[in-house]
Amino acid sequence: MLEMIQDGFSAVFTLQTMILVLAGVALGLIFGSIPGLTATMAIAICLPITFGMEASDGMALLMGLYIGGVSGGLIPAILLNLPGTPSNISTTFDGYPMAKNGEAGKAFGLAIVFSFLGGLFSILILMFVSPPLAQLAVKFGPFEYFAVTMFALTMISSLSGNSILKGLLSGLLGIGLALVGSAPIDAYPRFTFGFDSLDAGFELLPVMIGLFAISEVLKIAQSQMRSIDHTNAPDYTIKGFGFSLAEFVKQRWNGLRSALIGVGIGILPGIGGGTANIISYVTAKNQSKYPEKFGKGYSDGIVASETANNAAIGGALVPLLSLGIPGDTVTALLLGGLVLHGLNPGPLLFEQNGAVVYVIFAALIVANVVMMIFLYFGMRIFVKILSVPQHLLLPIILVLCVVGAFGVNNRLFDAGALIFFGILGFVLLKFHFPITPVILGFILGPIAETNLRRGLMYTQGDFMPFLTSPIAAIFLLFALGSVMLTIRRNVKKNKESETTIAS
Amino acid sequence: MKKKVPFRFVALFGLALLILALFAAACGQEETGAPEENNANEQANEPNDATADESEGSGEGAENSEDAATASGGGEYPVDTIEVVVPAGAGGDTDFNARTLGKYLPDELGVDMVVTNIGGAGGTTGTKEVFDADPDGSKVLFFHNSMLLNSILGLADYTITDFALAGIAVLDEGNGFFVNAQSEYEDLNDLIEAAKANPGGISIATEVGGFTHLQLLALQEETGIELNIVDVGGAADKMAALQGGHIDVIPIQYGSAKEYIDAGDFRTLGILAADTVDLMPDVPTFKDQGVDISFEKFFFYAFPPETPQEVVDMFSQAVQNVVENNEDYRAEAENFYVSPTYMSPDEATTYIQETEAYYEELLEGVEVQ
C-alpha cells in the first residue's frame, strides 16, 4: 500500500499533472467564490475536457476542482455575507460578523486552516478505512434515512434566532416549497398549477442563491439608497493566519467533532456538504459553553462550518470509490468521468485500477495543500473586494447569480425562480424570519418524504420497523432529545426574562 | 489621489468578473460540450456570436437550409452545432450512450455536438424542451423507453411518434434480475417457487411507472406470482439497497451489475432478452428458464415535430454510419454491454408502435396512484 501511495504521488508530481491540479484548484476557487457558481458546475464544464486526457490526469484536474470549489465559497461568505455554495451557508453566521468587527484576517485564517484540516482528515479516512465505512453506509435503508432526516430537521429549533415559532414556520415553508413538482415515487405533479415548467420542481441552487444572495443584495441596496457612502470597508489587519497557537489548540475538539460530523454526513449518499456545515454549526453551538456568542462573530462557528464542509468531500468519495454509489451531484459527475475513462467504480476499482485510485488520493492531498496556499496568499487580495463601491459590486453579483442559476439545467425558468426566491428572501428578512431553516426544510423535506414512502412500501404499510430498526431508533431518540432540550431551554429562558421584567 | 486608486482597481476587478461571467456563460451553454479542448477555447473566445446567433437566427436558418440542401443535393447539415438533449442526469446509461455516440457523430455530419442534461420529472422536462424547440435541426432528443411510459401514464401529452423520429441507435438487451451473492435463489425458478410459497413476501426493487416496473408486472402476469414491489430509486440506489440487504431482488442493466458479479457480490437470475445475447453468452435468458417474456431498452434520436425530412434523414444516415461501420464506437459500446443496432425512422416507428401496444396492454388496469 505504501508503495501504491508513493506511485500515486510521483504520478501527481509530474509537470503536466501538477499544472492540472493547480489549474483545477484555481478554477474551483473562482467558481466556489462566485455566488451561483459551484463545484458541481466547475466539474460539469471541465468534464468533457478530461475525456481527451489520460485517466489519471483527468482525475487530478477534477479533484482539484472539487477541493477548490468547496473551499472557495468561504470568501464571499466571510466578506459579503453571501454563501458562495450551499456548503458555506453557516460560514456566514460568524464569518461576516467577524469581518465587520475588523477580524476578517482572523476569520479567513481560521476558515482556511480548518478547511485544510477537515479536508485532510477526511482524505485520510477515505484512504485507510473506506471499505468498512462504505459497508456501514449501505446499511442505511429508508428507515434509517428517515430517522436521520427527522433528527436533522430538529436542528431548525437552534437556528431560529429569537423566535422558535418563526423558525418552525420558515422550516415548514422550505418543506412546502420542496413539495412543488413531481412527487417522489409516483411522479404525481403537485402544486404545479398546470405549469409544465414546475413539473420538475425548484432546483436547490436558485432557491439557495435567491434566498441568501439576492435577498442580501436587495437588503444592502435598500439600506444604502440614501447614503452615498461608497464602501463599507471595515478596518482589518492580517498577520500570518491571524490567530495564535493557543487559539488553535482551543479549537481542537470543535475541529475534530466537526470533521467527524462532516465525514459522517458526507458518507451517507444523498445528504452531503450542504447539510453537513449546518448540522456541524448547530452541534458546536449546542455543545458550547457560550452558545450566546454564536452568530456574533465567534471563532468556533467558523471552525465548525468550514471543517465540516471540507470533511464532507472525503466522506462523499467513500461510497463512490468503494461501492460505485454517488452520493450527490458532484460525485455523480465524477462517476460519469470515471466510466467514460473506462474505469468502472465499484467493488473492483481498487483491484483493477488501483494505480488510478492512488493518483486520486494523492491529487486530493496535493490539491488540499494547494488550496491552503492559494487562499493564504489570496486573502490579502480578497479583502480588497470590501473597498469596491457597493453600486458596482452588487450588479456584478446579481449578474453572476443569474448566470449560475441558468447554468444548472440550461433553463431560463431557473433564472426566474432565482429572482422569485430573492424577493421572497427579502420579505422574510424584513419580517425577521430566519432563512436557514427554509433551506434545511427544502433539502431535508423530500429526503424524509421519499424514505418514509419507500419504507412503508417495504413494510406494506407498517410503521413499526421505523422504531425497531436499531440505527433508526437511536436517531429518533436523538431527535426527541433534541426537541425536549429546546423546550427546556426555552422555558428556562422565558422564566428568566419574566423575572427580569418583574424585577 | 486617494480616490483614484480604488476606482482603477474597481474597473479592473469589474472587467475581470465580466470576462469570467462571459466565460461561464459560454461554458454554461456548452455545459459538457465538445470533447476537444480546442473547441472549448474557441467558443469561450466568442461566446456571444457563437451561441446567440444560433438560437435567434434559427427560424431563418431553417428556410435557408432547405434551399441549401436542395441546391447541393442534401450535402450540408443546416446548422453548425447540434445540441443533444439528454433528459437524465450526467453519469447514467442514457448519458453514457449519448456521449459515446456524440464523440463520433460530429465527424460524420461536419458539425459540433454538445450534450446537455435536462433532468427532472421522469424525463418530461427534457423531452418537452425538444418538443417545443425550433424545428431546424439544432436540437435533438436522445432518450429511451421511459418516454413511452410517460405518455401511457399520462405524464406527458405527446409520445415518441409525435416527434420527427431519426431512428434507433442502440439496444440494451441486458435487462437482468440480480440478487445478492448470499441469496438462496440460484436462478429464476428458485425465485418463482419461493414467491409462490410466500405471496408478497419477496421484495423486488423498481421505480414506480418506470421501465423496470413493466418488467415486474409482466413477470407477475406470466407466472402468476405476487411480489412486494418497492420503489427504492434509480440504478445506483437499487445497487446500494441490494448491497445493504434491504431488498431481495433488483432489476438493472447487466453492464452496471457486471463489476459486482465479478467481485462475487451479486448473482444474476437471468436477462430479459429474446435470444442469447452475443455480448453475454453465458447469461441465461428468462426464455431459457421457461418464462416467455422479453424486454429491450432502446435508445432513439428524435427531432422536434415539423423538422424538415431531409435534415432528419441526413442525421439518421450519420447515425447509421457510426453505429454500423465505426469499429471504435462499436468497441466502446460493447465494452458497456449495449448492442449498437441501427433502425431507420420507418423501422423504428413500427418497432416503437408495437412496443407501445404491448406496454399499454401490460399497464391496463394498473393504477399508478
**A143-161: per-residue pLDDT in tens?**
999 999 999 898 888 888 7
Interchain pair B230, A457: CB under 8 A: yes
Mutate to test the interface with B, among A38, A267, A402, A457 (most CBs of B within 10 A): A457
Average pLDDT over residues B141-164: 88
3-class state of residue B39 by DSSP: helix
Kindly state whether residues B179 and B161 are assigned to the same domain: no
Per-residue model confidence (pLDDT) at position B30? 39
Would residue B145 count as lying in a domain? yes
Per-residue model confidence (pLDDT) at position B1? 38
CATH number for position B217? 3.40.190.10
How many residue pairs from chains A and B have C-beta atoms closer than 8 A? 187
State how many domains chain B has: 2
Interchain pair B18, A396: CB under 8 A: yes
Candidate from A140, A181, A187 with C-beta closest to B155: A187
- The residue from B253, B271, B289 where one domain ends is B271
Per-residue model confidence (pLDDT) at position B300? 95
B252-256, B296-300, B364-368: which range is least confident on average?
B364-368
Kindly state whether residues B153 and B231 are assigned to the same domain: no
3-class state of residue B276 by DSSP: coil
Per-residue model confidence (pLDDT) at position B286? 94
- For chain B, say whether A459 makes contact (Cβ under 8 Å): no
Rg (alpha carbons) of chain B, rounded to whole number: 24
Residues of B in contact with A319 (CB under 8 A): 240
Kindly state whether residues B236 and B264 are assigned to the same domain: yes
Higher pLDDT, A240 or A313: A313
Phi, psi of A124, rounded to the nearest 5 degrees: -65, -40
- Each residue's pLDDT tens digit, B295-346: 999 999 999 999 999 999 999 999 999 999 999 999 988 888 899 999 999 9
Average pLDDT over all residues of chain A = 86
pLDDT at A326 > cutoff 60: yes
3-class state of residue B355 by DSSP: helix
Element (H, E) at A351: helix A349-352
* Residue carrying C-alpha cell 429562558: A493
pLDDT at A317 > cutoff 50: yes
3-class state of residue B250 by DSSP: strand
Residue of A nearest to B237 (CA): A325
Kindly state whether residues B187 and B253 are assigned to the same domain: yes
Kindly state whether residues B154 and B186 are assigned to the same domain: no
Higher pLDDT, B68 or A343: A343
Kindly state whether residues B242 and B214 are assigned to the same domain: yes
Strand partners, B115: B32, B84
CATH number for position B148? 3.40.190.150
Burial B139-159 (b: 16+ CB within 10 A, else e): bbbbbbbbbbbbbbbebbeeb
Kindly state whether residues B126 and B197 are assigned to the same domain: no
Would residue B20 count as lying in a domain? no
Candidate from B116, B244, B259 with C-beta closest to A346: B259
Would residue B151 count as lying in a domain? yes
Average pLDDT over residues A408-430: 90
Let me know the angle formed at the C-alpha of B316 by B39 and B154, rounded to the nearest 5 degrees: 100
Kindly state whether residues B165 and B303 are assigned to the same domain: yes
Kindly state whether residues B159 and B94 are assigned to the same domain: yes
Would residue B18 count as lying in a domain? no
Per-residue model confidence (pLDDT) at position B46? 34
Confidence of residue A238 (pLDDT cuts 50, 70, 90): low
**Grid cell of B253 as nine digits:** 442493466
B45 vs B43: CA distance, rounded Å: 5
Would residue B333 count as lying in a domain? yes
Contact A72, A28 (CB under 8 A): yes
Confidence of residue A225 (pLDDT cuts 50, 70, 90): low
Window 227-246 of B: residues touching A by CB (8 A cutoff) are: 228-233, 236-237, 239-241, 243-246
Would residue B17 count as lying in a domain? no
pLDDT at B49 > cutoff 50: no
Per-residue model confidence (pLDDT) at position B36? 35
Residue type, A117: L
Would residue B58 count as lying in a domain? no
- Each residue's pLDDT tens digit, B54-102: 333 333 333 444 343 333 344 688 888 899 999 887 667 888 899 889 8
Kindly state whether residues B104 and B160 are assigned to the same domain: yes
Window 305-334 of B: residues touching A by CB (8 A cutoff) are: none
Domain that holds residue B226: 175-271
Confidence of residue A26 (pLDDT cuts 50, 70, 90): very high
Confidence of residue B41 (pLDDT cuts 50, 70, 90): very low
Let me know the angle formed at the C-alpha of A252 by A250 and A256, rounded to the nearest 5 degrees: 150
B52 vs B49: CA distance, rounded Å: 6
Residue A180: count other Cβ atoms within 10 Å of its Cβ. 17
Residues of A in contact with B30 (CB under 8 A): 45, 48
Percent pLDDT > 70 in chain A is 96
Residue B364: count other Cβ atoms within 10 Å of its Cβ. 9
Residue of B nearest to A390 (CA): B10
- For chain B, say whether A186 makes contact (Cβ under 8 Å): yes
The CA distance from B115 to the nearest CA of chain A, in Å, is 10
Kindly state whether residues B214 and B255 are assigned to the same domain: yes
Q: Taking the C-alpha atoms of B100, B106, B109 and B113 in order, what is their torsion angle to the nearest 10 degrees?
A: 100
A429 vs B304: CA distance, rounded Å: 44
Per-residue model confidence (pLDDT) at position B90? 66
Per-residue model confidence (pLDDT) at position B38? 36
Q: What is the DSSP string of B278-322?
A: TTSTTSPBTTTTT------EEEEEEEPTT--HHHHHHHHHHHHHH
Confidence of residue B348 (pLDDT cuts 50, 70, 90): very high
Residues of B in contact with A339 (CB under 8 A): 91, 96
Kindly state whether residues B194 and B250 are assigned to the same domain: yes
Confidence of residue B19 (pLDDT cuts 50, 70, 90): low
Residue type, A19: I
Confidence of residue A500 (pLDDT cuts 50, 70, 90): low
Q: Which H, E and C letters describe A259-294, residue by residue?
A: HHHHHHHHHCCCCCHHHHHHHHHHHHHHHCCCHHHC
- For chain A, say whether B35 makes contact (Cβ under 8 Å): yes
Interchain pair B239, A324: CB under 8 A: yes
Would residue B237 count as lying in a domain? yes
